[in-house]
C-alpha cells in the first residue's frame, strides 16, 4: 500500500529547473533494499549544483536532490538492517543519480547505508554531513602523513564554509594551531569561536611567491577551495607537509611546479568522500562521533531550515553566502 509523504521535487520546464515541496507516494521512489524515514538532511555545494541544469550534476528530471540523509529504517530486505535502526547515508549516487535526502521517505541501496554511531544523533550526523565527513577525511590525510601539532601551524581555506568550519573545529580540538582563511571578514569572530588561533584574508592565504618556493609557513593545509590559489599554497608548505584538496569553489585548475614535491617532500592528498571505501568510512564516522566530534560547530555554526526554505538555501550556497552548516529538518 502506498504511503504519501512530502519531498522537495525538482522539475524542468522550458530549459529551467525549479524546485518545490510536493506530495508523492512510495511508488515514486527508486529501487533499493532499505526504506528510510528521513529525519534530517543538510545543504552542500553539490546540492546547490544539482538544482542548476547547467551544472549537469543531475541528468534527468523530475528529481529529488539531497546528497545526505539520516533517519530510521522503516523496512529492509537486507539482513544488515532492521526496522528501527538509526542510519545515515552520504556519498555514492545519493542526490545525484538516485533520489536523495530531501524527502520524508527514501529508498536506498543497503550498501550505501551505515548505522548511526551510538554517540551520534541523526541531527548531529547531518550537521556534520558530507562536508564534515570530507573535513574528517582531510584530517585523516594530515595525521596519516605524520603531521602533528608540534610541527607548526595549519591553514584552513574557505573556513566559513561547511568543510572549512568543521575542519577548524576538529583540528583545534586535536591541539593544532589553526589559521583560518576566509573572504568573509565579518565572520572572523565565529572562526575564533570554532577554535581558530588566527584569521587571515583569502588574499593572504594565496599571496604569490617570487620563486618556485615561498617561505614555509604551514605544516599542513585543508583546502576545500581549489583554483589558482592552490598552486601558491603548495609553495608555502613546510618540509614533509601535506595539502588535503577536496573542492573547486575557487576553480578547477591550478598551476604548480615539481619544486614543493622534490625539495620539501610535500604531499598533495586528494580527498574523495563519494566513493570512500566502507572500512575507512566507518573509521572516520566513528572518530567524528567521539574524539573528533566537532562540538564547537554544533554550538556556533548551524542554521536550521525546513524543506520549504530549500530554494533560498541552495541559492545561498551557490553564491558563496552560506556560513557554517545548513541543517535541513525533513521529518515533521
**Structure confidence by residue, pLDDT tens digits, 203-224:** 999 888 888 999 999 999 999 9
Residue 249 is predicted with a pLDDT of: 83
**To 10 degrees, what angle do helices 122-144 and 162-173 make?**
70
User: What average pLDDT is seen over the chain?
Assistant: 95
pLDDT in tens, 29-58: 999 999 999 999 999 999 999 998 888 889
Distance of alpha carbon 252 from its chain centroid, rounded? 17
* pLDDT(248) > 90: no
Cα separation, 16 vs 19, whole angstroms: 10
Residue 54 is predicted with a pLDDT of: 84
* pLDDT(138) > 80: yes
Q: If you average pLDDT over residues 129-156, what whole number do you get? A: 98
Output phi, psi for 202, to 5 deg.
-60, -40
* List of domains in the chain: 4-116+301-329 (3.90.180.10), 131-270 (3.40.50.720)
Residue 35 is predicted with a pLDDT of: 98
Torsion angle in degrees (nearest 10) through CA of 238, 241, 245, 248: 0
Q: If you average pLDDT over residues 176-190, what whole number do you get? A: 94
Exposed, middle or buried, 306 (CB in 10 Å: 0-12/13-18/19+)?
middle
Q: Give 283's pLDDT tier (boundaries 50, 70, 90).
A: very high
Cα separation, 44 vs 100, whole angstroms: 13
Closest-CA residue to 241 (of 155, 158, 179, 175): 155
Secondary element (H or E) of residue 127:
helix 122-144
pLDDT in tens, 65-91: 999 999 999 999 999 999 999 999 999
Closest-CA residue to 128 (of 280, 244, 294, 292): 294
Residue 1 is predicted with a pLDDT of: 58
Percentage of residues in the chain having pLDDT higher than 70: 99
The pTM (predicted TM-score) of the whole model is 0.95
Least confident of 111-120, 136-145, 250-259: 250-259
Q: What is the sign, positive or negative, of the torsion defined by CA atoms of 178, 142, 157, 218?
A: positive
* pLDDT(14) > 90: no
Cis amide bond preceding 62, omega within 30: yes
Residue 53 is predicted with a pLDDT of: 85
Pick 317 or 1 by higher pLDDT: 317
Amino acid at each position: 500500500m502506498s504511503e504519501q509523504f512530502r519531498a522537495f521535487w525538482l522539475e524542468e520546464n522550458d530549459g529551467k529547473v525549479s524546485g518545490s515541496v510536493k506530495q508523492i507516494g512510495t511508488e515514486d521512489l527508486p529501487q533499493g533494499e532499505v526504506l528510510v524515514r528521513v529525519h534530517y538532511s543538510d545543504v552542500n555545494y553539490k546540492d546547490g549544483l544539482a538544482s542548476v541544469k547547467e551544472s549537469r550534476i543531475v541528468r534527468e528530471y523530475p528529481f529529488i536532490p539531497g546528497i545526505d540523509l539520516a533517519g530510521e529504517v522503516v523496512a529492509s530486505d537486507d539482513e544488515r538492517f532492521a526496522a528501527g535502526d538509526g542510519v545515515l547515508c552520504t556519498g555514492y549516487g545519493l542526490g545525484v543519480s538516485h533520489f536523495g535526502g530531501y524527502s520524508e521517505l527514501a529508498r536506498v541501496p543497503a550498501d550505501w547505508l551505515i548505522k548511526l554511531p551510538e554517540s551520534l544523533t541523526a541531527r548531529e550526523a547531518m550537521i556534520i554531513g558530507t562536508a564534515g565527513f570530507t573535513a574528517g577525511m582531510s584530517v585523516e590525510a594530515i595525521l596519516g602523513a605524520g603531521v602533528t601539532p608540534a610541527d607548526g601551524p595549519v591553514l584552513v581555506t574557505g573556513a566559513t564554509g561547511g568543510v572549512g568550519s568543521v575542519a577548524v573545529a576538529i583540528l583545534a580540538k586535536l591541539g593544532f594551531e589553526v589559521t583560518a582563511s576566509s573572504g568573509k571578514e565579518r565572520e572572523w569572530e565565529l572562526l575564533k569561536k570554532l577554535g581558530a588561533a588566527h584569521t587571515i584574508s583569502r588574499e593572504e592565504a594565496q599571496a604569490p611567491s617570487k620563486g618556485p618556493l615561498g617561505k614555509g609557513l604551514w605544516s599542513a593545509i585543508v583546502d576545500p577551495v581549489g583554483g589558482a590559489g592552490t598552486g601558491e599554497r603548495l609553495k608555502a608548505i613546510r618540509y614533509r607537509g601535506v595539502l588535503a584538496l577536496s573542492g573547486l569553489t575557487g576553480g578547477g585548475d591550478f598551476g604548480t611546479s615539481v619544486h614543493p614535491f622534490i625539495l620539501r617532500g610535500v604531499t598533495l592528498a586528494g580527498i574523495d568522500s563519494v566513493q570512500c571505501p566502507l572500512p575507512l568510512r566507518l573509521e572516520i564516522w566513528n572518530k567524528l562521533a567521539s574524539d573528533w566530534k566537532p562540538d564547537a560547530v554544533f554550538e556556533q555554526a548551524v542554521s536550521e531550515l525546513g524543506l520549504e526554505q530549500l530554494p533560498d538555501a541552495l541559492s545561498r550556497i551557490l553564491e558563496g553566502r552560506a556560513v557554517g552548516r545548513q541543517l535541513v529538518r525533513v521529518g515533521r
